Homo-oligomer: A and B are copies of this chain.
Amino acid sequence: MSILVVGSVALDSVSTPFGEREEALGGSAVFFSLAASFFSEVRVSAVVGEDFPNEHLRLLASRGIDLEGLQRRAGRTFRWRGCYDYDLNEARTLETQLNVFEDFRPELPEKYRDSEFVFLANIDPELQLSVLEQVRSPRLVLCDTMNYWIENKRDQLLKTISRVDIMLINDAEARQLTGEPNLIRAGRSILHMGPQRVVIKKGEHGVLMIGPDSFFSLTAYPLENVFDPTGAGDSFGGGFLGSLSRFSRLDEDILRRSIVYGSVMASFNVESFSCDRLCELAWEDVEERFREFMAMTRFA
């Protein structure tokens, strides 16, 4: 099964109470595709500059990730600098250099156009739409966004949301998008915008999945050491869509199982800086943590 992601490939400089890292591999398309690569073939549509280290490309390729749609353009790679305080739930952005990302126009290679599963990571909703117009008949489209687009491109964002199957959004953004402080109502309100499901990420408090007649709530994995939350949401998306892509039908049970896989991948990702932990994982680690999720939430 083929998964397409459009998003950012970045060099991240991050500091947390536990250390810091300069110009490490990051970006939504990177975290997503590494997490999804445990489940399926992944294709990336993104852009990097001339300065992007080849070792990062080799790393992604070594996970079987298809980079034909990764444009390399004159100029510098997208850079993000952020920090986290002890409340690791929220990043403070110190600097964003769009660089080559500023003029990014996703152009899908011909073979990407039959992708069955699509993740529209957090980019300009107009670009998200342009990707949807290039994919022939996806089975499922998952979409993320952020406060900036909610504020500045609301109409375009609503148009994108009306065309996706599942909206992935964090709690603060769900409240901002709908003007509804209660998260359950905010979720239901997003369903009225078009998607079949809304998945609300609550960081250390877990995740909700709300459908027209369904409600699923999963706690987060109890981590004693969170090093760097950067990429948690995109790793979640990668595990979630990766798992979904392995099933021929998509019912509530499969969706729930996939929410757990998303949470598994996110929990690993935050255990170290950049995507270090995702890169050293074995499939047995993933299955083991899935079983731990079961063990810590079951009751009779």
Contact partner of A299 (CB less than 8 A), chosen from B206, B220, B256, is B256
How many residues on chain A are close to B (CB under 8 Å)?
A: 32
A300 close to B253 (CB less than 8 A): yes
Query: In chain A, residues 161-183, which have Cβ atoms closer than 8 Å to a Cβ of chain B?
Result: 181-183
Q: At the interface, yes or no: A208 with Cβ under 8 Å from chain B?
A: yes
Q: At the interface, yes or no: A217 with Cβ under 8 Å from chain B?
A: yes
B208 close to A299 (CB less than 8 A): no
Q: How far is the CB of A85 from chain B (nearest CB, A)?
A: 11
Q: Closest residue of chain B to A209, judged by CB?
A: B296
A253 close to B181 (CB less than 8 A): no
Q: How far is the CB of A216 from chain B (nearest CB, A)?
A: 6
Contact partner of A219 (CB less than 8 A), chosen from B206, B226, B300, is B206
Known interface pairs A86-B181, A205-B205, A299-B253; A222-B216 also in contact (CB < 8 Å)? no
Q: At the interface, yes or no: A218 with Cβ under 8 Å from chain B?
A: yes
Q: At the interface, yes or no: A215 with Cβ under 8 Å from chain B?
A: yes
**In the bound complex, CA of A217 to CA of B297 (Å):** 6
Q: Please name all residues of chain B whose beta carbon is closer than 8 Å to the beta carbon of A185 when the two chains form the complex.
A: 224
Q: How far is the CB of A128 from chain B (nearest CB, A)?
A: 29
Q: How far is the CB of A164 from chain B (nearest CB, A)?
A: 23
Known interface pairs A86-B181, A208-B222, A222-B184; A299-B216 also in contact (CB < 8 Å)? yes
Q: At the interface, yes or no: A223 with Cβ under 8 Å from chain B?
A: yes
0/1 per residue, A214-247, Cβ < 8 Å to B?
A: 0111111011111000000000000000000000
* 4 A-B pairs with the lowest CB-CB distances in the bound complex, closest first: A217-B219, A256-B299, A205-B205, A184-B222
Interface residues of A (CB under 8 A from B): 86, 181-185, 202, 205-206, 208, 215-220, 222-226, 253, 256-257, 259-260, 294, 296-300
